[in-house]
Chains A and B, each alone.
Chain A
């Protein structure tokens, strides 16, 4: 029963995606909506990204210092390990898990509320492809802006580590800066960015799907929002494994 339900839901999701990816009725409306969504989903997320990245970058640096403290390991390794963790996993996967909560719930509740208040029916009655009109700008905007958030996250996390080096005596600043530059592999940045694009699509499309097909009232909108976050988080973890295998091996 669970398997057939899952297959049915996946089929419904595929049909939903097909409805989304059609040409917009009015390109200028699509463009304006995309700009508005970049502001709402992307720019409004920057403060959260900065705060989280700064603290997590600092914590990773402290933990690296405490865990690899050995006379046999050079002290610049703290910066190197911090950088690798941030580039490979934190700035893409962990950040997207956090954004799945913020952006995913925002999208699911917004579209879900439009569904239960008949605003989506109103669009359909007018002859507007509601899935395309409402969801495509969100997906495009989030995918376009996600690399910006990831780069912000990478930079701010490294600054978080730098502040630890600057204000504590755990690691000399010069060693930290040397560490974050040593053995730098540019591909790791691209790897993080590529993963984040896939995760951005998962977050925006899955959250839209749960919101779009909500039935009932306020209670169901809340449930759909929770389901959207849980499902997109699981999918992010799943695709993290797949993409890591594909891109890093």
Chain B
């Protein structure tokens, strides 16, 4: 039950220099893979590009074949009301349940705003959010 809400995010190791994001995005474009959301985390000289795509397995294979270091990470996507207080609601649910957010990024789409979260206790997070009336992205959205 909880598993159906756990979304596979792809994470790609990238050097921190011009053209690296273009190389990743270009490879996904050429493979006809759509990116729903992405973020870049940067450190000293390198970064990690994280993305939700419509075909994560294909994205993994495409990028790996091109020599990129890629891994899957379990994340969840929580729909937020696109108005003041939307983020606060979700964050409170997790905070109250003692679930730690490791990182998050968000996009504001046509239907709703979506918060993508990597948390320490992913199945607990799914249960808590559903129990308190929250709405989660289905993993099947991305095949």
Do A and B assemble together? no
Please give the residue numbers on chain A whose beta carbons come within 8 Å of chain B beta carbons, in ascending order: none
